[in-house]
Amino acid sequence: MIKFNRIWAMPNKNTFSIKPIKELLSKYVDKENQFWIDPFANSSEIATITNDIDESYNTDYHLDVIEFLRLFKDNSVYGVLVDSPYSPRQLSECYKKLNLSVTMETTQSSFWSRIKDEVARIIKPEGLVISFGWNSNGIGKTRGFEILEILLVAHGGNHNDTIVTVERKLI
């Protein structure tokens, strides 16, 4: 059975600092005893190994997301935090801010599909993926995952909700 919660909270560009999201992460992420990675870490230090393409952040790596995920062997990671840009427009803004070229390849849905394929490849059976965005698709059933929990964080006004999907990889 999927646990579903809807909570109101003020928006914040640092997703993991939003109180209900911070509480959810503290329930699932134990980097002392589990190996977690964050391919889009920004300023977050929640995961064991962090990455952000923006070199102004103090992360372990500054690689393109696919390059970063390919550093890990099949079934080698317990958990992944997937807080990527939520839309092609956001992705485009991030790339332009860093003077990187925005191509059709980086703004098509296949970009996110490749990320999901890589995440599914590296997660251990019974491992977790916590995804953030404007939908609850997560990594998905077709890649061998089941949804454990969905948190809907309503920000009010003209702000889109943040949807957090917690999934477990089946054996």
Per-residue pLDDT tens digits for 105-136? 655 567 788 999 999 999 999 999 999 988 88
Q: What is the CA radius of gyration of the chain?
A: 15
Phi, psi of 22 (to 5 degrees): -60, -40
The Cα–Cα gap between 143 and 12 comes to 31
The token pair that represents 60 in the structure block: 């372990």
154-171: per-residue pLDDT in tens? 887 777 888 999 999 997
Give residue-wise pLDDT tens across range 40-50.
998 899 999 99
Q: What are 78-106's pLDDT values in tens digits?
A: 999 998 765 556 665 666 565 666 666 65
pTM of the model: 0.86
Tokens representing 70 are 């390919």
DSSP letters spanning 56-120: TS--SB---HHHHHTTSPTT-EEEEEE---SSHHHHHHHHHHTTPPP-HHHHSHHHHHHHHHHHH
Domain range annotation of the chain: 3-169
pLDDT mean over 134-161 = 89
For the domain covering 3-169, report its CATH number: 3.40.50.150
- In angstroms, the Cα distances linking 157 to 6, 12, 51, 132 are 16, 14, 32, 20
